[in-house]
Structure 1
């Protein structure tokens, strides 16, 4: 089959398009999926460049093209366990079930599905443990992939395969953030990186909950974010406190971290909640611990997701309560160009890779 393999941590040269890859065989409890589309995510790029290594102290952008010389292979995956190469990446997958393993009903063959990107089957559903699809096991950057049947979800909707492929990683991450922070109707939520995949998903999902949304992004993207549902946009280089005032926000949904982190705590009300699932602007931040305890803030680090998060996401899709933005598509063999455009931060929404037939 055709697919892209990651052969090591580093630059775009570590991504190899191949035409001689073996089609996987589904084991007991698994399904074989004919992949039609996958999308580009920070997690795939961060894994490629070794950004998760604690030896890396800068944001994704500084090494996203060539990798990080300082990265240590021993802890360069998101789970802190050395990655096995070659690896077919791709945290997102939309496709059709082509075959089933032992114990799976053949009635599932032909279903259009998406795969939960944080897989719990392979760790026996232990709390706060999971594999990332395309990291600890092969993912969606190939014509075929396999996944646990119980974590492969049929979706009934009128969306295109490209639209569905935007969902698993970005939208479940965003919904996981909002779920952990318990965002409610009428609350004021500030969302960083709002033009990206997770950020734009969080804008839609927070509005679905009835929240008032302040989106932080480049000013040139303000119109599109307002159309997406944001109530107001603050430029990422603007003074957040001057725009919103101190102690005006109930929850901060953060995928950026970096230099803007202290201002997020300043705008949070007493008893406010801060939820984070990324650090594209830099993983090391300055925290005045007095702000944390004197304001009775609650912090949520958000990777693991309760089962209800993905199940809810599928229900939102089927009820037509959200709709993704597909900003651009590329054929799979142009994955390096797709990631370069993703890294330019010039778009709003998701970039999708179309898998060859």
Structure 2
């Protein structure tokens, strides 16, 4: 069992300099109910950048430096998306996990039960997968040994697809719905497109003209290009009868403009704010038309178990935009922040 590993370690909130590459980061022994995972691939997410920047704010002070769940204990190994192989167990009863290929659930839950709420996040409240090895709880690893997906594809799933799965479940998306997906070329956006399409819904994706073909290829039925006109007007022309669901990871001023395009009894579910966390909207559009405005964060145990089942069956196939070695993490995060890609950026700790 290794005693040290390479790891990308967050030392404070800040720019790229806050994230350092350690060549001999100590690997702790797994305890009872834990296993040691050799990380095959780890996905990059907005959460990693926002946690590094401390960009989540706190109640009453949206500009305060904070992680998503509050203050971060430094140093911290980042990385919420992990696929790998179990190489050791902390107790003999857990040794059946050894040599299994696994997908790691990155959420820490505040209670038991299939619909428990996340209270912590791997790579934020506890160490994650931007390392050669990591310790995971046995109730957080899911066997995907027979999945047709590659390790790199599996590593695209936990955060983005887990977030998307919960969003669509909270919005009760079905085959009868027309669903608008904002930010459709990003990790969660692509996941929303693929999962809504798999549910039989009609998917309208907001993207750019340069990314239109790629977004259609991953499963969107129609696109609205924000660089070709006002999104609300374009949506009104495309879907004159209105939208059943908006699955939003963008936020910003577009929320107020698009809200009138949602049908009566429709739903707006939001899990991101990359266009701005503070918005104005006409509350009359909500209550007069019985529109549900639903906040959604990470997945529940039920959502992640469903995601692992989809992975085992190969029902989703996340596109990989780029691959980087662990020592190229700054380049990987820079590429991620540029938003020029479609799909996920993946780190390979052992490449």
Question: Shorter chain as normaliser: what TM range?
Answer: over 0.9
Question: Could you say if the C-alpha distance between residues 279 and 103 of structure 1 is closer, same or farther in structure 2, counting changes exceeding 3 Å?
Answer: farther
**1:334 and 1:298 mapped to 2: Cα distance?**
42
CA displacement at 1:24 relative to structure 2: 2.0
Of 97, 112, 123, the match for 1:125: 112
Alpha-carbon distance between aligned partners in 2 of 1:124 and 1:202, rounded to the nearest angstrom: 27
Q: Which runs of 5+ in 2 are unaligned?
A: none
Kindly provide the CA deviation profile for residues 117-173 of structure 1, in whole angstroms up to 9, marking residues without a partner as x: 2122xx443843422111111000011101110111111212221111111111101
- Residue number in structure 1 paired with 2:235: 244
CA distance in 1, matches of 2:329, 2:266: 40
Name the residue aligned to 1:64.
none
Q: CA deviation at 1:241?
A: 2.9
Correspondence for 2:137: 148
C-alpha change, 1:196 and 1:22, in structure 2 (3 Å) is: same
2:178 corresponding residue in structure 1: 188
Q: Pick from 291, 308, 311 the counterpart of residue 314 of structure 1.
A: 308
Pairing 1:139–2:139 present: no
Change (3 A) 1:97 1:286: same
Distance, in Å, in 1 between the alignment partners of 2:256 and 2:215 is 24
Query: How far does residue 236 in structure 1 lie from its aligned partner after superposition?
Result: 2.4
Answer yes or no: is 1:204 the counterpart of 2:191.
no
The answer for the alignment partner of 1:77 in structure 2 is 67
Give secondary structure in 2 for the equivalent of 1:258.
Answer: coil
Alignment correspondent of 2:161: 171
5+ long unaligned stretches in structure 1? 58-69
Aligned to 1:255: 249
User: How do residues 6-21 of structure 1 correspond to structure 2 at under 5 angstroms?
Assistant: 6-21=10-25
CA distance in 2, matches of 1:7, 1:248: 47
Q: What is the root-mean-square deviation of aligned Cα atoms in Å?
A: 1.6
Q: What is the distance in 2 between the residues matched to 1:303 and 1:104?
A: 33
Give the alignment of 1:21-100 within 5 angstroms.
21-54=25-58, 71-72=64-65, 76-80=66-70, 82-100=71-89
Are the counterparts in 1 of residues 31 and 91 from structure 2 also a CA contact under 8 Å?
Answer: yes
Deviates more, 1:270-279 or 1:246-255: 246-255
Secondary structure at the aligned position of 1:193 is classed as coil
Alignment partner for residue 349 of structure 1, among 330, 343, 347?
A: 343
Alignment of 1:214-229 (within 5 A): 214-229=204-219
Secondary structure at the aligned position of 1:153 is classed as strand
- Matched with 1:329 is 323
Distance between the aligned counterparts of 1:141 and 1:104, measured in 2?
28
TM-score by length of 1: 0.91
Instruction: Tell me, in whole angstroms, the C-alpha distance in 2 between the residues paired with 1:324 and 1:185.
Output: 21
Q: Does the Cα contact within 8 Å between 1:2 and 1:20 map onto a contact in 2?
A: yes
* 1:304 CA displacement: 4.4
